[in-house]
């Protein structure tokens, strides 16, 4: 990985200002040091043995300075600082700057510094020593003259220490900024704590060293013992930190080190983007090995570990010198690729990795084929922090696996667990938990979801609230329980809710885009401003307030978070049922309806039903949704019966419903409660649900069949083993998928497929319903093929229950032509269209 501070080079375009600064500091150092150094030869004879001992130790210690492993900045600790500062306090500026220059020359030679770098280090130390000497001269007289130090002299020593540190650190920080650019204060602040501890400790040891030298020069070498102890402790500490950041099996950086690297690189690339540099993109590649579990199961974990070591070696060889390869755990690896100009460069790096893994890995004479799937997330296109980039790379990687591909780039449409979908799931739970049925009324009876009255004898459903309860059932997450606000001082009090109900707050705190939007507005939708609250819990609450989460108003002036009644379910939209008529083709009569779920969201409008089901199936919300649908449909059937309509209603159930085994009991309970005959209800299942877990699904279907509920196979023709299902399942109906019906008037192949499915179902005694009938020509083709029922926009679009009642009152059956002449003409035309 490329270091952040190349030792002997200056980036192009910065050589002029940087070398100008180096030359200026060198000139200042020469000016301030020329006189004392010129007078130094005449003083050498009078310098005591303590001075020579310190000088020798300074040069010898700097021959092996302490360089902390893994640090990005020039942060080596030079023990000569302690000795030269002590010489300054005891014998003046000339001897100190001379010893420091020799020590710098030795350390520069040992570390391989360029001449300009060694010269700048000598000049910076000379300026720092000159500033410290000037401050020390502000005292009342000579320091350490054998007497007791007064407080003014102690203050002078402290001032000299501060002056040395400020000048030295300021010169180094200025040089780094001129050399590499970037903002001034973050660069200074990043290394300040480390320098204060390391260099500051050496400077503060100098007065003690001078005092010991006044007593005896033999005491001076004893300072090496604590210096060595500190050195060893620091070294062991850094080694432990280094081991904590490394994977013990492969030696690669682990997840912790990856997080640190990505965070630092994101900061650097954000600065590059702000400066308009072209290479301001950063790629995070997430690699998951294929068939690694098979190796572990067949050959054992020892061979699996050896395979991982070999893979890590190949990855390290194939990536560039600036890239970082990390092992996240198991067979997952990550690669950080900095300084990219576009996505094609990231793809090229991923293709190189795929090519490197394509070669078999020979272990114990057995060639093991190992490949991998790689997901790519790019900064700043796909995320601006480690968590977002990591999640998006993971989404892309699984997308590649599902497509049997090797490389995939993150795409929002592939992200089925995005923050938007999690927010949608939270809204769906809220509307399902808090949207009650209308209460019973003695005069009008029970009212259903469409507002129509039921007979008074029918029992009410889903409203356990006591009379006079001012809040909707489920409004606080607890059915039938009224809510009270109890704010207390010095406490964060937030109403407990189901985990899914906190998703909106969590994603707002985790998603930087949503967090910035919330911070910019600083207000909820109702205009209540959220004040800051201290503490981790308060941070989540503040994010919830910014996002407009229900149940939180905001903190008061004393820091108390005030909980409020959850906003009514209308804020999350309204769940309603639409019904689409099913028409008997031969007679034109309405024989049934299909119940279709609709959710009108306040921000998104009508939510796509497919997305709605996909979101709900990810959690226990599916159970709530199914309960609502079953209750509404059966209740509507009861109302139609009271009005003299004997329609059959079909409703769809999901894979999750069929796996739990509760769907049959639930339907039986609702049919009994509302007095609806089981034959009036039909459950539609898909072949995908059957393939997921045939045993459990078959058990649920069999139980429904025993109750008397009809079973229809939906999307017939799009599954995997339709013939087997038709033979084994207790079906009463099959529904030909609309993808075939829509094209049968124009495509002879689609027409042939539809006719074949109708003949097959008819031979098995099953009713056939064709979906997607949108024109008269298709309707006549279906009649000629012997199809029983048509459903589609040719007859009617899906509509609410009240609109369906109006439509039924106006509908007149339409039958195919029955005259022989017209029938012959139609048959001849249809035969040509189908040939």
Q: Where are the beta strands (DSSP E) in 556-623?
A: 561-563, 574-584, 590-601, 605-606
Any bridge partners for residue 180, and if so which? none
CB atoms within 10 A of CB 64: 13
Distance CA 59, CA 68 (A): 20
Angle at 584 between CA 579 and CA 588, to 5 degrees: 100
- List for the chain the helix, strand, coil content (%; round to 5): 55, 15, 30
- Is 771 a catalytic site residue? yes
DSSP 3-state of 598: strand
- The single residue of 611, 771, 776, 818 carrying the catalytic annotation is 771
Closest CA to 311 of 293, 294, 328, 327: 327
Choose among 733, 666, 652: nearest CA to 703.
666
Whether the link from the prior residue into 380 is cis, omega within 30° of 0, is yes
Token duo for residue 685? 């299942």
Compute the distance between CA of residue 636 and CA of residue 649 in angstroms, rounded to an integer.
Answer: 9
717 within 8 A of 753, measured Cβ to Cβ: yes
Spell out the alpha helix ranges (H) of 216-291.
Answer: 224-244, 255-274
For residues 122 and 75, the answer to whether their CB atoms sit within 8 Å is no
CA–CA distance, 573 with 601 (Å, rounded to integer): 4
HSE-up of 479 (CA within 13 Å, CB side)? 8
CB atoms within 10 A of CB 402: 11
- Distances from the Cα of 699 to the Cα of 546, 566, 651, 721, angstroms: 48, 40, 19, 18
Measured CA to CA, the distance from residue 424 to residue 427 in angstroms comes to: 5
Q: Are 18 and 340 in contact (CB under 8 A)?
A: no
Strands 648-652 and 281-290: unpaired
- Looking at 498-620, list the stretches that DSSP marks H as alpha helix, in order from N- to C-terminal side: 503-510, 512-521, 536-547, 609-616
CB-CB contact of 288 with 334 (8 Å): no
Closest CA to 812 of 796, 791, 801: 796
Distance CA(668)–CA(391), nearest Å, equals 43
- What distances in angstroms separate CA 127 from CA 24, 136, 824, one per listed residue? 11, 14, 110
Q: Rounded CA gap, 348 and 409, in Å?
A: 12
Cα 232 off chain centre by? 40
List of residues 6+ apart from 243 with CB closer than 8 A: none
Please list the residues that pair with 288 across neighbouring strands. Answer: 332, 373
Q: Report d(CA 61, CA 290) in Å as an integer.
A: 53
Tokens (6 digits) for 427: 């809204």
Q: Print the SS3 string covering 669-721.
A: HHHHHHCCCHHHEEEEEEHHHHHHCHHHHHHHHHHHHHHCCEEEEEEECCCCC
Among 611, 623, 633, 702, smallest CA distance to 656 is for 623
Q: How far apart are CA 806 and CA 450, in angstroms?
A: 13
Q: Which residues are catalytic?
A: 771
């Amino acid at each position: 990985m490329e270091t952040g501070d190349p030792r002997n080079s200056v980036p192009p375009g910065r050589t002029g200002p940087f070398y100008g600064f180096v030359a200026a500091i060198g000139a200042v150092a020469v000016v301030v040091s020329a006189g004392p150094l010129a007078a130094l030869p005449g003083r050498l004879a009078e310098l005591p043995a303590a001075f020579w001992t310190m000088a020798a130790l300074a040069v010898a210690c700097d021959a092996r300075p302490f360089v902390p492993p893994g640090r990005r900045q020039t942060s080596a600790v030079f023990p000569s600082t302690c000795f030269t500062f002590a010489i300054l306090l005891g014998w003046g500026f000339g001897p100190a700057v001379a010893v420091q220059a020799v020590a710098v020359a030795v350390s520069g030679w040992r570390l391989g510094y360029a001449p300009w770098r060694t010269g700048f280090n000598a000049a910076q130390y000379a300026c720092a020593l000159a500033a410290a000497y000037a401050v020390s001269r502000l005292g009342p007289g000579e320091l350490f003259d054998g007497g007791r130090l007064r407080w003014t002299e102690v203050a002078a020593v402290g001032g000299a220490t501060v002056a040395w540190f400020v000048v030295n650190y300021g010169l180094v920080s200025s040089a780094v900024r001129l050399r590499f650019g970037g903002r001034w204060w973050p660069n200074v602040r990043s290394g300040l704590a480390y320098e204060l501890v390391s260099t500051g400790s050496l400077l503060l040891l100098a007065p003690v060293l001078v005092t010991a030298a006044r007593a005896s020069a033999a005491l001076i070498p004893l300072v090496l013992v604590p210096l060595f102890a500190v050195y060893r402790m620091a070294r062991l500490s850094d080694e432990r930190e280094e081991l904590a950041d490394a994977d013990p099996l492969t030696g690669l950086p682990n997840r912790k080190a990856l997080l640190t690297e990505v965070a630092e690189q994101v900061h650097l690339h954000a600065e590059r983007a702000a400066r308009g540099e072209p290479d301001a993109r950063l790629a995070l590649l997430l690699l998951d090995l294929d068939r690694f579990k098979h190796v572990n199961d067949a050959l054992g974990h020892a061979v699996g570990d050896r395979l991982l070591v070999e893979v890590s070696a190949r990855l390290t060889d194939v990536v560039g010198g600036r890239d970082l390869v990390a092992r996240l755990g198991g067979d997952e690896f990550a690669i950080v690729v900095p300084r990219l100009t576009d996505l094609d460069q990231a793809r090229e790096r991923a293709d190189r990795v795929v090519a490197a893994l394509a070669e078999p890995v020979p272990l114990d004479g057995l060639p093991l084929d190992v490949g991998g799937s790689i997901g790519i997330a790019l900064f700043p296109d796909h995320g601006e922090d480690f968590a977002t980039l990591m999640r998006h790379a993971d989404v892309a990687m699984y997308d590649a696996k599902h497509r049997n591909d090797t490389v995939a780039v993150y795409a929002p449409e592939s992200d089925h667990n995005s923050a938007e979908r999690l927010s949608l799931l939270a809204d769906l739970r809220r509307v399902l938990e808090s949207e009650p049925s209308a209460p019973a009324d003695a005069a009008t009876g029970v009212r259903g979801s469409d507002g129509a009255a039921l007979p008074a004898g029918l029992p009410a459903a889903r409203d356990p609230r006591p009379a006079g309860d001012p809040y909707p059932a489920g409004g606080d997450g607890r059915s039938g329980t009224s809510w009270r606000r109890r704010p207390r001082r010095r406490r964060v009090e937030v109403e407990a809710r189901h985990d899914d109900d906190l998703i909106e707050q969590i994603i707002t705190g985790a998603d930087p885009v949503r967090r910035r939007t919330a911070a910019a507005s600083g207000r909820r939708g109702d205009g209540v401003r959220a004040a800051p609250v201290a503490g981790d819990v308060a941070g989540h609450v503040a994010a919830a307030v910014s996002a407009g989460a229900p149940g939180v108003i905001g903190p008061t002036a004393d820091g108390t978070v005030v909980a409020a009644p959850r906003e009514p379910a209308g804020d999350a939209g309204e769940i309603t049922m639409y019904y689409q008529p099913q028409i008997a083709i031969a007679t034109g009569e309405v024989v049934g309806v299909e119940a279709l779920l609709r959710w009108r969201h306040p921000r998104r409008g009508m939510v796509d039903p497919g997305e709605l089901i996909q979101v709900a199936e990810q959690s226990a919300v599916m159970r709530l949704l199914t309960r609502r649908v079953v209750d509404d449909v059966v209740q509507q059937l009861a109302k139609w019966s009271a009005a003299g309509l004997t329609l059959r209603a079909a409703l769809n159930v999901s894979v999750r419903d069929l796996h739990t085994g509760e769907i049959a009991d639930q339907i039986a309970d609702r049919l009994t409660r509302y007095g609806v005959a089981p034959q009036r209800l039909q459950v539609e299942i898909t072949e995908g649900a059957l393939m997921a877990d045939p045993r459990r699904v078959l058990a649920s279907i069999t139980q429904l069949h025993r109750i008397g509920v009809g079973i229809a196979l939906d999307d017939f023709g799009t599954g995997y083993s339709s013939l087997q299902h038709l033979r084994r399942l207790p079906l009463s109906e099959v529904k030909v998928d609309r993808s075939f019906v829509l094209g049968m008037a124009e495509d002879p192949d689609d027409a042939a497929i539809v006719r074949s499915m109708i003949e097959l179902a008819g031979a098995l005694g099953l009713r056939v319903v064709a979906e997607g009938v949108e024109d008269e020509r298709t309707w006549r083709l279906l009649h000629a093929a012997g199809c029983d029922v048509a459903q589609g926009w040719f007859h009617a679009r899906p509509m609410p229950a009240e609109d369906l009642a109006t439509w039924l009152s106006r509908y007149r059956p339409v039958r195919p032509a029955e005259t022989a002449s017209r029938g012959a003409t139609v048959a001849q035309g249809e035969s040509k269209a189908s040939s």
